[in-house]
Structure 1
């Protein structure tokens, strides 16, 4: 029992130390799905080098996925990634490609991929899909406090990958003289035909030429790369990502995805990752396996596909270069 208490004490100390490196910024008028207040976090560093990082945490779009007992999305601000201090959140590791950078962390608690502008009643349970309002407050802070950065890295894991790609146009349009890289982690955008989520959320869409009214994520990646040829646009995923397959199954009405659904997702995911490759400044890193996300994980420092380590690939992005395209 004493050993268990000692271990719990050490864990609590480690979590407290991880959070100690971050400063909370309150957002007046910001709101999470359940009506609780919104805030974001900043870990100060070099003001000329900035990571804009969108948190993941599922999504919801109907009474089943949005209900009070649903576990498919975060309902309030959660800082688990910051406390655990793994992957890019290990602010003390010199191996971190973003060691010494300013890191702006955008929590996710609205079930709408960071883009919603609606409040919806799902059979008596109201959900505030107000991700766009929250992100706008973060961007106002960023643009006010970092007026002329040299390097900017826009990223996010899972739902945060969509936040990154859907808001990257605002960053690129504002920081025209900076080296900007955009990298979505484990959010390739495979969805069913007629998926109702975006209609529910009333999303803020990127301001890019040639986009369709309800664009596919691969379409946005390509439009970003073409509109901003000096930027580097990239994404990462495993080829059998279990979490992305799970959500694709939910879209099809499957509580547990079938093998056929998993195979279907895998084929469509690789197509989605490859489609923007007609732009020279777009790149990707496809890894074997089913793990979901890499940026918040220790595998960031150990993964290697063929001759290319993910860490070296990520360092290239951090330096504003287009690293090689990698697939198993």
Structure 2
């Protein structure tokens, strides 16, 4: 009863004070979003020994059409609606949340470059600041300076944030060598067209791992992470017909609306991409039916079940540093 009363009072305080009751904004000198506006990130304090590093999603852009001022394919400035909705892993007062009581570092995304860009590009009359790498480095420097000895770390992100998580995991893993670390990409399996120009256009910072090519496929990065850091747990989640991932794959092919053939093509390539790293014992995945995009920011995190395995139990095992079973519909 006392715990319930405390939670009710905490919720009332949150309503009265807004986001400030849970989240502290940290300004980043020199940080910049796509449209030139300033960058900042957010920290929800908790146990300093348990650290959740969470990369925000929000699309991408790579040419004049997708990067234009009227384009809706990417975030152009800091937008933290996930925090306000307080669903999924953002429900900070739910004891069912696998990260209840953890320190949660929310890394906003506003550069259209999957968190790895190091370029400002003129797309014919307008510029886009693809400076995601600069912003993330500032966040990680803050984290490394202020959390020197965590015992558990969970690196994750939804959509474009899934790429941020896997592309920057090597930096976290090489810094915290004694911590129990799990990396989980949510709805970012990396299916792309041959010759996709984005990574070169953004002058991307990609992982520094043994055996990787200059422009590796995402499934190669998952496998390289698992092999290079065998004590870590590497994982990913997706639905088998993720509508948003199919939409972006269609854009890469020049389709403004995905054709049925493109959707089928994506589904085949996506399952291949998820399965390929499975040769590593410390790699796992959760494939769910349907077309929903992302699960970590959604209430379905607490209700989804495929076969005998609930997603919540699967995620909780990851948070505890265990390798949960591989799940397919």
Q: What band does the TM-score fall into relative to the shorter chain? A: over 0.9
Which residue does 1:8 correspond to in 2? none
- Cα root mean square deviation, aligned: 1.0
Matches within 5 A, 1:140-151: 140-151=141-152
Which residue does 1:255 correspond to in 2? 256
- 1:20 is displaced (CA, Å) by 2.8
Matches within 5 A, 1:149-298: 149-298=150-299
Label 1:185 to 1:15 Cα distance change in 2 as closer, same or farther (>3 A).
farther
- 1:17 is displaced (CA, Å) by 3.2
Which residue does 1:84 correspond to in 2? 85
Q: Is the 8 A contact 1:19 1:83 kept in 2?
A: no
TM-score, normalised via structure 1 length: 0.95
Q: Is the 8 A contact 1:15 1:84 kept in 2?
A: no
Q: How many angstroms apart in 1 are the aligned matches of 2:20 and 2:197? A: 37
TM-score, normalised via structure 2 length: 0.95
Q: Does 1:38 align with 2:30?
A: no
Q: How many angstroms apart in 1 are the aligned matches of 2:224 and 2:194? A: 21
Moved over 3 A (4+): 13-19
Q: How many angstroms apart in 2 are the aligned matches of 1:215 and 1:74? A: 25
- 1:15 is displaced (CA, Å) by 9.8
Q: Does 1:132 align with 2:138?
A: no
Q: Is the 8 A contact 1:18 1:84 kept in 2?
A: no
Q: Does 1:309 align with 2:314?
A: no
Q: How many angstroms apart in 1 are the aligned matches of 2:228 and 2:252? A: 31
Which residue does 2:5 correspond to in 1? none
Q: Is the 8 A contact 1:16 1:83 kept in 2?
A: no
* Deviation readout 1:162-210 (Å, 9 max, x if unpaired): 0000000000000000000000000000000000101110000101000
Which residue does 1:326 correspond to in 2? 327
